[in-house]
Amino acid sequence: MLSQYSHTVPDCTAGYARGGAALTVTWAGCEDEVRAAQRLRYRIFGGELGARLPGPARESGLDADRFDPFCDHLLVHAASATGQPLLVGTYRVLAPDGARRAGGFYSDAEFDLAPLRALRPRALELGRSCVHPDYRNGGVILALWSALGRYMLQRRLETMIGCASISLAGGPEAATAIWESLHPRYLAAPCWQVRARHPLELGSPRVPTAEPTARFAPDTPPLIKGYLRCGAMLLGPPALDRAFNTADLPIMLRLDDLAPRYRKHFLGQH
């Protein structure tokens, strides 16, 4: 079962040239394309990052869960030497109607999102962001975000929420340092702050939180930096995701808060 939006997303194809690579952005329109996204997700999360995915995922080589049928799946392809487009990036997008049919957002299992209740009718959830290791120069993420901006305008949506993950492969110290460096500047107002259902036990960071003049702590994931530069806010301390062995920071970006330098790129003339 595909999301009802998979065949009705207007202006679904766009071309980009980033870092010397020609990129094409589309929305998945068939089961095979969703499976390709799930295969890339499995490669990144299960193979590269060591997530403890369930047995069916290991057997199939697909990262799939119960939310996928209710989501729209955004894909970025690059030209390859074989002539066949290579899938190099993906996001899944859970729009308000899909969330209602799914019984909520994926993030509801990690956080008490009650403070965001008033925003939910015009909010989408982003998840499962991943980029092929050979294409992590920022171009793929920019192409994905441009498509997301058009998607939100077409549906009159105002808010993006989601979880940004920090690997715990080396222990919780790096995640602690990142949180301590970011929350003084980027923590949302109290009315928007959420509570983690399984909080990460924060300890004493063993790496510097940041230089006094630095904006981000060492080892802050590029995706988190990108969200915050765009105008996103942290909604509270990280949750522990045992299956993916990550610290998950709750993040929210409202289009009204989009930084001016990104507004035209993501929203065109709007």
Q: Which domains does the chain have, with CATH numbers?
A: 4-267 (3.40.630.30)
Mean pLDDT of 71-86: 89
Mean pLDDT of 142-165: 93
The pLDDT of residue 105 is 98
Tens of pLDDT, residue by residue over 126-141, are 999 999 998 888 788 8
The 10 Å CB-count burial string (b at 16+, else e) for 171-203 is ebbbbbbbbbbbeeebbbeeebbbebeeebebe
At 254, the pLDDT band (50, 70, 90 cuts) reads very high
At 211, the pLDDT band (50, 70, 90 cuts) reads low
Residue 1, pLDDT above cutoff 50 = no
Mean pLDDT of 241-262: 92
The pLDDT of residue 7 is 40
Which of 245, 241, 266 lies closest to 256, judged by CA? Answer: 266
Q: Write the single-letter amino acid at 145.
A: W
- Whole-number mean pLDDT of the chain? 86
The pLDDT of residue 8 is 45
Which stretch of 36-40, 112-116, 134-138, 193-197 has the lowest confidence by average pLDDT?
134-138
Written as one string, the DSSP assignment of the chain is: ---GGGGT-SS--EEEEETTEEEEEEE--SHHHHHHHHHHHIIIIIIIS-----HHHHHHT----TTGGGSEEEEEEE--TTSS-EEEEEEEEE-HHHHHHHTS-GGGGTEE-GGGGGGGGGEEEEEEEEE-GGGTTTHHHHHHHHHHHHHHHHTT--EEEEEEEEE-TT-SHHHHHHHHHHHHHHBPPGGG--EESSB------SS----TT-SS-TT--HHHHHHHHHT-EE-SSPEEETTTTEEEEEEEEEGGG--HHHHHHHHTT-
Q: Which residue has the higher pLDDT, 93 or 144?
A: 93
Tens of pLDDT, residue by residue over 9-56, are 444 455 554 445 689 999 999 999 999 999 999 999 888 887 877 777
Structure tokens that stand for 164 in this block: 């940004």
The pLDDT of residue 60 is 86
Mean pLDDT of 187-195: 97
What percent of the chain is predicted at pLDDT more than 90? 60
The pLDDT of residue 102 is 97
At 265, the pLDDT band (50, 70, 90 cuts) reads confident
